[in-house]
Amino acid sequence: MSQSKQAYQQLLESLREIALLGSVASMLNWDERTQLPEKGTEHRSRQASLLAKMVHEQFTSSRIGELLAAVESSSQMQSDGDVQVNVRETRRSYDRAVKLPSSLVEEITRTEILGQAAWVEARRKSEYPIFEPWLTKMLGLKQKEIDCVGYRESRYDALLDTFEPNETAAGLRKVFDSLREPLIDLVAKIVQSGRKAPLEILERKYPAAAQQAMARQAAEKVGFDFTAGRLDVSVHPFCTGLGPGDTRMTTRYDENYFGDAFFGVLHETGHGLYDQGLPAEHYGTPLGDSVSLGIHESQSRLWENFVGRSRAFWRYFFPVAKQHFPQTLADVSDEQWYFAINDVRPSLIRTESDEATYNLHILLRFELEQAMLDGSVTPKDLPAAWNQKMRQYLGITPPDDARGCLQDIHWSGGGFGYFPTYTLGNLYAAQFFEEARKDLGDLNDMFSRGEFGPLLGWLRKNIHYHGKRYTARELAVRITGQDLNPAPLLRHLRSKAAELYGV
């Protein structure tokens, strides 16, 4: 074996070992958010910060740099596409990581654990001052991270890049600006139409055990493998892929509202299907990792909304729902149900919002986190700034901070730059779904018969299998022939609004 091939094999072995260590840290994170006793938070913060330091130091070691250099200068790098992808993406991550001191990585991780615990308490009590000092501290740490890694145009770009590689705030603003007014206009027309969905149907008694059984049944039906995953409960729903054969999802149940858990599980199932579809033979390397959070989110939004809120989906699943909730749904028709689950109206909570208003929630957060990073909004100012944006975009004001600026976990964990990936996911999902219809034919007919395998197979072939071979925008062009484009999403939303609201 040549020296360059030997170096490449050693690089892959090192990356897989680092990934295994990282998966242990992810396991602790899952446990923290689902099982950890309240008094164990301080100890968990030390465990997690130590692991983060170990992962960082192993990845930024001079040995990784030497192996990368050895492969980069070889003929193998020029001729083997898999080698090119793994080396290109590893180099990209390595060059960023070596700029961050281990002490900063350790402190960010420790603050994340403690800050999230404070956020849980603040949200439960609706007392923002409990969380404000932790947000201030995390924001300061993230400013230090930005100063270490650098940026070209906007400080925000340095953090956005960790979630959506190669994307910029300027690029997002261009796309989001083309969405803002059409969305505000569409929502206004829906509100003015005077038509009201029978929302009370969703607010009846839905026992948690039956919700869990139905959500699990739906996740399994669309393709989630429960021999390689599980579903648990947490304050804020999430999905984490710990490695081949182990994908964990969570949700939360409200016995007086159907939509939160069921559509939340479909959403996390989309993430889980992506994780389960990544090539196991490439685990630990870029070819075994997802493209970006925007592409990951496209999978969750596609299954939650384009499939799960479709009329065809409920032709199959509404009889199933009536089996799980026979008394609750005894007097409900499939048309009433379809209208209720596609209700559009301005609301307070992002995770419970409808397809049409959802992106307005994201625009609000995108603008506020940029303002916090440039100093024009301070953590102390956040509740008032949040409420002002809610009035501007949705015409409503949160009655308390639990339903305002405390509703999301992201900033407590330092996730500045994360929120835009949700709207990117909606945009990419619309593009991909339109293309899948062209390639596969009558998806509605398939869904109404409970056949979801063809769509999952199409996603596996076109997206999951490739790992990080392409950037998000390259993948969109490869699949649809177009760059990131708001038009398919707007077509989808307007079509449904015309059907249900006559606008």
Amino acid 65: pLDDT: 97
Q: What is the CATH number of domain 169-501?
A: 1.10.1370.30
Amino acid 53: pLDDT: 95
Name the residue ranges covered by the structural domains of the chain. 3-150, 169-501
Q: Which residues of 55-94 are buried (b: 16+ CB within 10 A; e: fewer)?
A: bbebbbeeebeebbebbbebebbeebeebbbbbebbbebb
Alpha carbons 170 and 154: distance in angstroms, whole number: 8
Averaged pLDDT, 423-436: 98
By the 8 A CB rule, do 372 and 132 touch? no
Averaged pLDDT, 124-130: 98
- DSSP codes, 351-404: GG--HHHHHHHHHHHHHHHHHHHHTSS-GGGHHHHHHHHHHHHHS---SSSTTT
Is residue 107 annotated as a catalytic residue, yes or no?
Answer: no
- Catalytic: which of 89, 145, 268, 355? 268
Bridge partners (DSSP) listed for residue 247? 229, 241
Amino acid 74: pLDDT: 82
Residue 231, classed as helix, strand or coil, is strand
Bridge partners (DSSP) listed for residue 231? 249
pLDDT at 120 exceeding the cut of 70: yes
Residue 224, classed as helix, strand or coil, is coil
Amino acid 436: pLDDT: 98
Alpha carbons 472 and 160: distance in angstroms, whole number: 14
Averaged pLDDT, 434-457: 98
pLDDT at 44 exceeding the cut of 80: yes
Amino acid 1: pLDDT: 64
C-beta neighbour count of 234 within 10 angstroms = 17
Averaged pLDDT, 312-339: 98
Place of tokens 């070209």: 152
Amino acid 43: pLDDT: 96
Amino acid 92: pLDDT: 96
On average, the pLDDT of the chain sits at: 96
Amino acid 152: pLDDT: 87
Q: For 215-243, what is each residue's pLDDT tens digit?
A: 999 999 999 999 999 999 998 899 999 99
Averaged pLDDT, 355-366: 96
pLDDT at 389 exceeding the cut of 90: yes
